[in-house]
Structure 1
Amino acid sequence: MSASRLPLRTRVMAWFSLVTLVVAGTLAVATWLLSTGYMLDQREHSAIRQASGNARLVAAALDRESPGLAELLTGLGAEYESGVLVVDDGEWITGGNLVDPTRLPTGFLRLVQGGVPAHQRTMLGGAPVLAVGLPLPELGATYVEVSPMRELDRTFRFLSWLLVAGTVASGLAGALLGRWATNHALRPLRRLTETAARTARGDLDVRLPSTGDPDLVPLAEAFNDTADRLQQRVTRDTRFAGDVSHELRSPLTTMLNAMAVLQRRSADLPAGSRHAVDLLDTDLRRFRRMVDDLLEISRGDHDTDRSTFELVDLAPLVTAIAGRHGPVPPDALAIADHAWVLADRVRLERAVANLLDNAGRHGGGLVRLGVLRRDGHARIEVDDAGPGVPAGARDQVFERFARGSPARCASADSGGVGLGLALVSQHVRRHHGRVWVEDRPGGGARFVVELPEVTE
C-alpha cells in the first residue's frame, strides 16, 4: 500500500513519530559525543597526571639505584589498580597488575622508547585500558602505566542504553501526540461528515454550528450556504411538482370520465378503436397513479406534524393489509406477537401496501411476509421470488422515478411509475426508521422496514 493510500490519521502519526525520532536521535548523538568526549578527556588527563607523578618516583629510585624498585612498582600498581612497566637498559620490570609487554601495541611502545610521550586506549584481556608512556631520557629508561577503564566503559554502556531508550520513547510519544493532534484536528471534519451524511439521508434542516474558529468559519459558512441552496431547490422542485400535479387533477378527472363513457360504449366501436381505447385507458390510469403519488410525496416533504402518530401494533396491521391486498398463503406469514411502534397508521399502511405491490409487480410474487422484533426495533420483511436487486442498485431503487433493474422489470408489465418505493422510503424516514433491500436466503429480494419499537 502506497503512503498516499494510508489513512490521514496514520500518516500524521507516522510524521510526528518520524520527526520526534529524528530530533531525539540528533540530540542523543550530540549528547553521546559531547559527554563521552568530555569524560574521556578527563580520564586521560587524570591518567597522564598520575603517570607523570609515578614516573618521577620511579626515576628517583632508578637514579639512586635503589634495590626496592620492584616493591615500588608493585605498590604503585596496587594503589591505583594499574599495571606498571619499566624498561631499563632493555630489561622489562613490571609491577601491580602484571602487564605482558608483547600485548601492548608495538607502535605505541616504539614511539615511547623513541623518546616521545604518548597515550593510547586499547584492549587487554578483553577489557578496555588506557596506556600512558613516558620516556626517562636522562636515565635511558621508559615508564609505561596501564590503567583499567572498566568503570568508564560501564558508564558509556549505561548512557548508550539510556539514550537509545529515550529516543524510542520519544518516537512512541510522538506517535501518541500525532494521534491526539489528528483526533483534535479531525473533529470538525467528522462533524462535517456526519452532517453531510444526515443531509444525504434527506434531513435538509441540519446545519454546521459556528465554532468561532477563524479557520473553520469559512468551511461552516460554505456548507451551510450549500445546504440552504439545496433545501430551497428541493422545496421549489417539490412545490412545482405538487402544483403541477394539483393542476393536472381537473383535466385528468375529465379525461377519466370521458374514458368511462367510451368504455361503456366500446361494444359499438370497431375492433381497432376498442384496442386504442383500452390502451388509452391503461395510460390514463397509470397517469392518475403518478399524479396521486406526486401529490402525496409533495405533501410529505413539507409535513412535519406528528399529531397523527399513535401507538400501533404491527402484527394485526400487517395481517389486515395483506388480506386486503390479495390472497396470501398461510405459510408465507411469519407474524410476531405485539410489535408496538409509534406511527401514522395511514402512511404506514401505504408503505406496507407499496412493498406488497412491488413484490407482485416486479418480484414474481410474494414469498414471505414477516413481522419480528430485533434489538429494540420492530421489523417488517417482504420477500419475493424475483431475480433480486444487484448490490449497486440497492440505493437507487428507493429514488423517485427509479424503475428497478431490467431483470426485475422484464418479468412483468408492471405499469408502475417509479414512485412506490420512494414513498416507502419517505414514510419510513418520517417514522425515524430505515428501509433497505438485501438478498433473500434461497434467492430473490428481501425488503426490510425497521422502526423503533415502543416498550413499556
Structure 2
Amino acid sequence: MTAPRWPRPSRWPRPRGLRARLLTAFVLVTVLGAAASAWASANAASAALVTSHQQRITETVAAQVAATAPHVTYPPDQEALDRLEQAVGGRARVTFEESASAGAFDAGLVTDEIRAAVRHEDEVSAQRITLDGRSWLLVGTPVMLTAVDGTRSASGVEVYALRDLAGVENTIDGLALAAGTTAAAALPLSVLLALLAARGVLQPVRDLRDTAGRLASGDLDARSEPQGADELAELTVAVNEMAASLQESMATKERMRADARRFVADVSHELRTPLSTLAAVVEVLESSTDGMHGDARESAQMAISETHRLIRLVEDLMEVSRFDAGTARLHVEEVDVVDTVRTCLRLRGWEDRVELEAPERVVLRLDRRRLDLIVANLVGNALRHGAPPVRVAVRALPGGVRVTVTDAGPGLGAEVLPHVFDRFYKADRSRTRTPGSGLGLGIARENARLHGGDLTAADTGSNTGPGTRSGARFDLVLPDQEEES
C-alpha cells in the first residue's frame, strides 16, 4: 500500500489578503526597479570610468616611452635600459633580449598574452591583474625605430609598467554604495505609493464585499455605487444587475408562494363545511354496513376509508397553512409526557403493537394536543413503513424531554434522509394509495420547532448483508415552556 502524499508546507510564508499581496508586489517591483536602474547606472559609470582611466594610463606610458626613445642608443646597454625605466617612472620593467632594467618588477607578472601583443603585434596593450589583493593595470609597449624614409620598425626593446587602480576601485565602490542608497531611499516612497494604490483598488472590492454580505443576510436592496470606468466598475455593475435580477426572482417566487398558501388555506376552509356534512353521512353509512352484502358493502367501506383519508388530508393542509401564515400558537399547560404518550397509543389501539419505555412521570409545560399529534405521526409512520418491534422511549432531560421512536424495518436510506420531512414526499413513489398524506412528518417537525425544540431522523445502524435490517429512528426533543403571562 502506497503511503499518502501530503502537500509540502511552503518554505516561504506568503502574504495573506489581497491588500498584503498588492503592497508586497508593488514594493518589490518599485524597489527592484530602482535597484536595477541604480545598479545599471553604477555599472555603466564604473565601466566608463575604468575604460577612461586605463586609456589615460596607456597614453601616458606610451607618450613617456616615445619621448625618451630617441635618446636611447641601439642596441641599448644596461645604462640605457635603466634610464628608460626611470623615464617611465613608477613600477616599470624594460627588457631587451636577455637584459632587463635594474629596478624591474617580477617578470612573472607579465602574462604571455600581453607579451605576445607587444612582440608580434607591435602595439600598446593593457591588462588588469591582481597583486597583493589589489587591482593593477599592466601596460606593455614596444619601442619603435623610425627610419629616414619614415618607416617604423621594432627595436626589440619592450617596456612594461604597473599602475595602481586602487583609486578607481574606491570610486567604483562609492558608486555601488550610492546605488544601494538610492534603492533603499526608494523603499519608503514605494510603500507610500503602494498604500495609495491599494486603497484605490481595494475600496471598490470592500464595497462589493459589504454588498455581497448584505445580500447574503437577506437585504436584497443592497447595491454598490460604480466608481470610474475600469474592470472593477464593470464588476460592480454586473453585481448590481445580478442583485436586481435576484430580487425580482425572489419577489416573484414569494408572490407565488403566498398565492399557493392562500389557495391552500382558502380551499381547506371552503372544504370544512361539506366535509363535516360528508363525515356525518359516513358515520351513518358506517353504522349500516353490517346489513349490506357483496359489492355494496365493499363499495361502502371504500367510500368510508377514502372519506376519512380526505378529512385527514384537509386537516393537515389547514395545519400547514397555519404554520405558513405564522398563526400557529401554543396552548401551554402542565403535561405529564409519559401519560400523554400512553394515552396516544391507547386511543389509537396501538398499545399491543408498540413497546413503551418510560419513567413513572415526566411533567413539563407543553402543548398537549401538539405533543399527541407529533407522537401519533411518528408511531403511525413506524407502524406503516417499519417493522416490529416498534419502540417509544421517553427520557427526561435537564429542562426538557426526549421522545425516541424506533422500528426494525429497512430504515430510511441515504436517499430518503435529506427529504424525510419534505411536504408530500414519499420514499416509495409506487405506493400512491398509502393512508398518509406526505405531510405528517413535516407537520410533526413544525410542531416541535414551534415548541423551540427539534425533530431529527436517522438510521439505527448499517445494513451488513442480505436480509439484515437497520431500522429508522426519530428523536423528538422538547424544552420546558415558560409560563404564559
Q: What are the equivalent positions in structure 2 for 1:310-329 lying under 5 Å apart?
A: 310=332, 316-317=336-337, 320-325=340-345, 326-327=350-351, 328-329=354-355
- Counterpart CA distance in 1 for 2:318 and 2:241 is 38
> Which secondary structure does the structure 1 equivalent of 2:406 belong to?
strand
Q: In structure 2, do the counterparts of structure 1 residues 28 and 56 end up closer, same or farther at CA, with 3 Å as the change threshold?
A: same
Q: Is 1:289 aligned to 2:332, yes or no?
A: no
Code of the residue aligned with 1:270 in structure 2: it is H
Q: In structure 2, do the counterparts of structure 1 residues 368 and 430 end up closer, same or farther at CA, with 3 Å as the change threshold?
A: closer
Q: State the match for 2:222 in structure 1.
A: 210
Q: In structure 2, do the counterparts of structure 1 residues 439 and 224 end up closer, same or farther at CA, with 3 Å as the change threshold?
A: same
Give the alignment's Cα RMSD to 1 decimal. Answer: 5.4
Contact 2:394 2:404 in 1 (8 A): yes
In structure 2, the gaps of 5 or more residues are 1-15, 69-81, 145-157, 227-235, 463-469
Residues 355-390 of structure 1 deviation map (CA, whole Å, 9 limit, x = unaligned): 23222222325334354659x997554333222223
Contact 1:377 1:451 in 2 (8 A): yes
Q: State the match for 1:115 in structure 2.
A: 123
Contact 1:438 1:446 in 2 (8 A): yes
Q: How many pairs does the alignment contain?
A: 393
- Counterpart CA distance in 2 for 1:221 and 1:70 is 92
- Counterpart CA distance in 2 for 1:301 and 1:141 is 111
Q: State the match for 2:393 in structure 1.
A: 369
Q: Is 1:225 aligned to 2:248, yes or no?
A: yes
Q: Is 1:418 aligned to 2:425, yes or no?
A: no
Contact 2:453 2:477 in 1 (8 A): yes
> Which secondary structure does the structure 1 equivalent of 2:220 belong to?
coil
- Counterpart CA distance in 2 for 1:373 and 1:294 is 33
Code of the residue aligned with 1:115 in structure 2: it is E
- Counterpart CA distance in 1 for 2:114 and 2:359 is 100
Among 436, 448, 454, the residue aligned to 2:475: 448
Q: State the match for 1:83 in structure 2.
A: none
> Which secondary structure does the structure 1 equivalent of 2:427 belong to?
coil
Contact 2:460 2:472 in 1 (8 A): yes
- Counterpart CA distance in 2 for 1:271 and 1:454 is 54
Q: What are the equivalent positions in structure 2 for 1:39-438 lying under 5 Å apart?
A: 39-47=42-50, 52=56, 56=60, 65=83, 72-73=90-91, 86=92, 88-89=94-95, 93-94=104-105, 100-102=109-111, 106=113, 110=117, 115=123, 132=137, 134-136=139-141, 140-143=158-161, 145=163, 185-195=208-218, 207-211=219-223, 213=225, 215=236, 218-304=241-327, 308=330, 310=332, 316-317=336-337, 320-325=340-345, 326-327=350-351, 328-330=354-356, 332-333=357-358, 344-365=367-388, 366-371=390-395, 373=397, 380-405=403-428, 414-431=434-451, 433-438=453-458
Moved more, 440-449 or 181-190: 181-190
Q: In structure 2, do the counterparts of structure 1 residues 213 and 426 end up closer, same or farther at CA, with 3 Å as the change threshold?
A: farther
Offset at residue 406 of structure 1 (A): 5.9
Code of the residue aligned with 2:425 in structure 1: it is A
Offset at residue 279 of structure 1 (A): 1.8
Would you tell me which structure has more helix in proportion to its own residues?
1
Contact 1:334 1:369 in 2 (8 A): no
Contact 2:395 2:402 in 1 (8 A): yes
TM norm structure 1: 0.64
Q: In structure 2, do the counterparts of structure 1 residues 228 and 133 end up closer, same or farther at CA, with 3 Å as the change threshold?
A: same
In structure 1, the gaps of 5 or more residues are 1-12, 74-85, 196-206
Offset at residue 425 of structure 1 (A): 3.2
- Counterpart CA distance in 1 for 2:48 and 2:59 is 15
Offset at residue 275 of structure 1 (A): 1.7
> Which secondary structure does the structure 1 equivalent of 2:252 belong to?
helix
- Counterpart CA distance in 2 for 1:147 and 1:396 is 89
TM norm structure 2: 0.61
- Counterpart CA distance in 2 for 1:71 and 1:453 is 112
Contact 2:62 2:124 in 1 (8 A): no
Among 37, 40, 54, the residue aligned to 1:37: 40
Offset at residue 289 of structure 1 (A): 0.6
- Counterpart CA distance in 2 for 1:451 and 1:116 is 107
Contact 2:220 2:247 in 1 (8 A): yes
Q: State the match for 1:80 in structure 2.
A: none
- The structure with the largest alpha-carbon Rg is 2
Residues 399-431 of structure 1 deviation map (CA, whole Å, 9 limit, x = unaligned): 221123469x79xx8511111012123334444
Q: In structure 2, do the counterparts of structure 1 residues 257 and 99 end up closer, same or farther at CA, with 3 Å as the change threshold?
A: farther
